[in-house]
Structure 1
Amino acid sequence: MASFPYRCRHLLAAMLMLTPPCLVAAASSVETNQPWWKRAVIYEVYVRSFQDADGDGLGDLRGVVDRLPYLQRLGVDAIWLTPFYPSPQVDFGYDISDYRSIDPRFGSLANFDRLVAEGNRRGVRVIVDLVLNHTSDQHPWFRESASSRDNPRADWYVWSDGVPVDAPSVDAVQRRFAHEGRAPPNNWTSGFGGSAWEWVPARRQFYYHRFYRQQPDLNWRNPAVERAMTDVMRFWLDRGVAGFRLDAVTSLFEDPALRDEPAAGGLDAFGMPKLRHVLTDDLPEEHAVIRRLRAMVDRYSGSRVLIGETWVDGAASMRRWYGAPALDELQLPMDTVLGFGGPRYSPDWFRRRLREAQTGFGGGQPLFVFDNHDTERSIDKFADGVHDIAIAKGIATILYASQATALTYYGAEIGMRTRPPLRREDVRDPIGLAGWPQDKGRDGERRPMQWTAGAQAGFTTNPSPWLPVDPDRARANVASEEADPASLLGWTKALIALRRSEPGLQGGTMTLLDTVPPGVLAWQRLPGRGPRIWVAINMSAVAQDMALPAGAKPHALLTTEAAASHDGRALHLPPFAIWIGRVG
């Protein structure tokens, strides 16, 4: 039996300036005419929590510039910046009051321009978050719209007279939110609790807000709104951004008749009836708008990209957001089901979802994501409490070695954990304040980045950062993991480097392998030329033997420290081991 020792040395390891867990061979980089985003690693930077350069306890754009060398070492192709625009910060920047400037807490336009320039110099593009669905209630557009029924922007938001509070159709929930004898026009609820309708005395009307009441929804049925937002996109494209992550993009339109949503049964964390959002989400009108925005973006050079926050279920919905078969809408709608919708670490789940992504998206490029600023971190979602780091390496392997664009979130590469507040008085997130204790909010996945084991984890010099640093920084931090080839960071770096250098992991086809032992997830990558690549992940606590094709000459490229091996006839996979290699 040929084994592959844990401390192997090779060219790619030298490139990484560390010895990866078991990096056995490297190939030269391959030129390709594919758009850059098709093989990209995109890294979400939650700006508030990434790096504080001015000592005020809040992350900023200068801090992101300071950490570009790390992102370059990691192998990131682009960063997605969460909102940095002027904002009352009710929803931490997703309530925008000026789309063409920078909130002074995060810096200035000069800081932003420097970030784009320095990022381009290091091969790290900048993608910005754009909130198309709603603005802040402090935005000048809304202030004007709310002032009267006959101003130039009176129809820029979704307004309703409501219905008489004593109308037979009005239920008890609607009556709770009545004003001046008028009740909300329907049963729609806010994602942050309560009715989705807010009364404005100056107009004696309600406005619609899918999210927090300080986030009024724009009226995309008004062409002036589309023109204004298109101009905003051009402003940032002209400053050199590589594209946009479009927030809440599936919620731009609502049922024009304002009919009640069907009940889903039960109550949400805020005590409101659960609804099926079939009249306020993923409506057909969305797609014509997205096609027009895509056409505008495509006129810019450099393969600019549109990424969508697409909380939709099923291949049919995903195909629509790609605009299949023409593929003229979003280049990269997020596959939020793969990483957020499934059970625990389960090969059956991932096999089913990976196959759907390969065959059901109408030819669109999959975008896989397991972590973001709104959800429990993947190391907590999939962990078993014993093999957590080994499982996190498996998740990273799915992300970086499958045929998909990879979207990750700061700290995932070092195994940062989700740490919700223990007391309501410590909560910062408005969802947690409204939903406590059933919903403790999103503070737990937004804590400061852990750069070192020292005070404030190297995030800030301020003893009072905007969220407390996790005590876990002594275990999980960049400084210690960069020095440890067996760490999760070491494995992630090695995976990304292999993804960049190995022809078999660039383009070609991907086929799920079904004749595998229980507990094993495996697939084959077949490039247009060169040998096929096998990726095998033992997702179980039991050693597994996986048969090799007759006459195969396996050559390991990357394995975990569990020393997965082969004897020419089978791969020998210890518990939670991973093997990536050529199978000639």
Structure 2
Amino acid sequence: MSMTEANGSILTPDRDWWRGAVIYQIYPRSYQDSNDDGIGDLAGITRRLPYVASLGVDAIWISPFFTSPMRDYGYDVSNYRDVDPIFGTLADFDALIAEAHRLGLRVMIDLVISHTSDQHPWFAESRSSRFNKRADWYVWADAKPDGSPPNNWLSIFGGSAWQWDPTRLQYYMHNFLTSQPDLNLHNPEVQEELLAVERFWLERGVDGFRLDTINFYFHDQLLRDNPALAPERRNANTAPAVNPYNYQEHLYDKNRPENLAFLKRFRAVMNEFPAIAAVGEVGDSQRGLEIVGEYTSGGDKMHMCYAFEFLAPDPLTPKRVAEVMHDFERAAPEGWACWAFSNHDVTRHVSRWGQHVADKDAFAKGLASLLMALRGSVCIYQGEELALPEAEIAFEDLRDPYGIQFWPDYKGRDGCRTPMVWEKDAVNGGFGEGRPWLPVSPEHLPRAVDRQETDMRSVLHHYRRFLAFRAEHPVFAKGEIEFLGVEAPMLAFVRAYGNEKIVCVFNMSGEPHAAPVPADLGTIEPLSGHGFDSYLSDGSIVLPAWSGFFARLL
């Protein structure tokens, strides 16, 4: 029995709960500060769980809260089996799990196992000599005869992926910061230890994992150079355009076939527990969907994965949505996707795609409904339900090393990580009394939760309405999808599951539009409860700007 199984949980075991689930991502530093030190914490999350449950989501994903020197704000772990004191204690985590389960929320945690912090005891031992018991736990290599790095691999955070260590007189590999050395998963002992970490948190009661940088776990043992990437194939899905990381085809520093066997081992541990699921982050600009297909095929690896197609800067158009969904179906016919428009690593989508949109609320509502109507599971990022725009952060307030490295051409990730705004007129928007680790955006305050709660036409209430609408129709969680041939700016598709078929039509523009009902659909019955003022009139579907229309096919 798990530590929370007897604590009043209303959850019932369901191994398929993840298929079509809506998952709410919480970035703990910025959600709720319970002790006024300026940093959000686990007790703060627990305090706000009734709000999360009121949205109607199925689960939460909590970004890393493990012990860390915070060079990359928790994505550099120095102890996988404890909570960093700034976030609280293991007892606080147990209380969070119990409260989430009482409210009917499942809890997924963010496991970062491609690399650790350089402050992790494993790395301290590994770098101490070439002959200790953990000497091969990280990726070490000799210099070339001229002293230069072993090959041309690049770090996502800029520069070489190799850092010289004066004690071992060798280079170690780091796909990210120099303070984030890569683990050597070719070593069986490393795999065993990581599987033990997985089991530790499963026994503590978690319902699943988000696996950070899942396609970075293995490297080419021959350390072959990556080939150059033709300019026309470069894009900024995985790294910003100013980063030379985009100049290589990353064949050898990630995406290695050896990962499939490890993912099967990881899945086997999850299968020892009831109703566990994992979603993997696939960071690759050329083969992202193909890798998602590999990692989610066969029912013996990941339950679901996401790539960066909808997290990229590319404008979201009807054509783009249909292309991504068709590409996924071709690349992953057995797989399952988890779609997101925003997260803690990218510019918030209201700003990324809606810079020139006049009615930001209508835009946010339309995109939210589109996201939740697509085939796949869904991740919603905290504050998205308030239509928060990207915050402007002055250089002197920056915390993200990525942004500091490439400023001002790339401003980093701090703009999407600012504190959640709960009360417009409270100190720091209700986040906490202490000075926040990142400034609260004045532009966010009018969109605070307390202001939107009192306005039934707010974006927040639209999210609640549409999540309830989605829950009423299992076709959205489980059904197939077939796109219809309609002209832009319209997007239309049919979701089908069992005996139910629902046609979904979206106006992806800032002007009202009417479109004839496709002749081959037959009789349709408009559905209500989704929050839009669209309607059927004389054989045409009439949609306001950025709205949707939903009807049952009879």
Task: Calculate the TM-score normalised by the size of structure 2.
Answer: 0.91
For 1:293, what is the secondary structure of its paired residue? helix
Q: Note if 1:394 corresponds to 2:366.
A: yes
The residue aligned with 2:504 is: 535
Residue 315 of structure 1: how far off its partner (Å):
4.1
> Could you tell me whether the CA contact under 8 Å between 2:289 and 2:307 is conserved in 1?
no
- CA 1:569–1:236: 2 relative to 1, 3 Å: same
The residue aligned with 1:177 is: none
Paired residues, number: 529
Q: Which amino acid aligns with 2:487?
A: P
- CA 1:37–1:240: 2 relative to 1, 3 Å: same
Alignment of structure 1 residues 429-578 onto 2, 5 Å: 429-454=400-425, 455-462=427-434, 464-514=435-485, 516-530=486-500, 532-540=501-509, 541-547=511-517, 549=519, 552-558=523-529, 560-561=531-532, 563-567=533-537, 569-578=539-548
The residue aligned with 2:269 is: 296
For 2:506, what is the secondary structure of its paired residue? strand
The residue aligned with 2:79 is: 98
Selected match of 1:333 from 292, 302, 305: 305
Q: Which entry has the higher C-alpha Rg, 1 or 2?
A: 1
Residue 34 of structure 1: how far off its partner (Å):
6.7
Task: Calculate the TM-score normalised by the size of structure 1.
Answer: 0.87
Alignment of structure 1 residues 355-366 onto 2, 5 Å: 355-358=326-329, 360-366=331-337
How far apart, CA to CA, are the structure 1 residues paired with 2:129 and 2:469? 60
Give % identity.
Answer: 39
> Could you tell me whether the CA contact under 8 Å between 2:185 and 2:191 is conserved in 1?
yes
Selected match of 2:379 from 383, 396, 407: 407
The residue aligned with 2:290 is: 316
Residue 186 of structure 1: how far off its partner (Å):
1.3
Residue 359 of structure 1: how far off its partner (Å):
5.3
How far apart, CA to CA, are the structure 2 residues paired with 1:45 and 1:96? 18
The residue aligned with 1:146 is: 127
Residue 308 of structure 1: how far off its partner (Å):
0.3
How far apart, CA to CA, are the structure 1 residues paired with 2:122 and 2:13? 45
The residue aligned with 1:343 is: 314
How far apart, CA to CA, are the structure 1 residues paired with 2:33 and 2:129? 42
Alignment of structure 1 residues 93-242 onto 2, 5 Å: 93-165=74-146, 182-242=147-207
Deviation readout 1:125-149 (Å, 9 max, x if unpaired): 1111111100111101000000001
RMSD (Å) for aligned C-alpha atoms:
2.1
- CA 1:265–1:345: 2 relative to 1, 3 Å: closer
How far apart, CA to CA, are the structure 2 residues paired with 1:429 and 1:452? 26
How far apart, CA to CA, are the structure 2 residues paired with 1:256 and 1:76? 43
- CA 1:537–1:224: 2 relative to 1, 3 Å: same
Q: Which amino acid aligns with 1:277?
A: H
> Could you tell me whether the CA contact under 8 Å between 2:155 and 2:174 is conserved in 1?
yes
Residue 526 of structure 1: how far off its partner (Å):
2.0
Alignment of structure 1 residues 6-25 onto 2, 5 Å: none
The residue aligned with 1:54 is: 35
How far apart, CA to CA, are the structure 2 residues paired with 1:526 and 1:34? 22
How far apart, CA to CA, are the structure 2 residues paired with 1:239 and 1:32? 16
How far apart, CA to CA, are the structure 2 residues paired with 1:335 and 1:475? 33
Residue 39 of structure 1: how far off its partner (Å):
2.4
> Could you tell me whether the CA contact under 8 Å between 1:560 and 1:577 is conserved in 2?
no
Alignment of structure 1 residues 253-272 onto 2, 5 Å: 253-264=218-229, 269=242
> Could you tell me whether the CA contact under 8 Å between 1:40 and 1:78 is conserved in 2?
yes
How far apart, CA to CA, are the structure 1 residues paired with 2:326 and 2:456? 32
The residue aligned with 2:53 is: 72
Residue 365 of structure 1: how far off its partner (Å):
2.1
- CA 1:501–1:247: 2 relative to 1, 3 Å: same
Residue 335 of structure 1: how far off its partner (Å):
3.6
The residue aligned with 1:427 is: 398
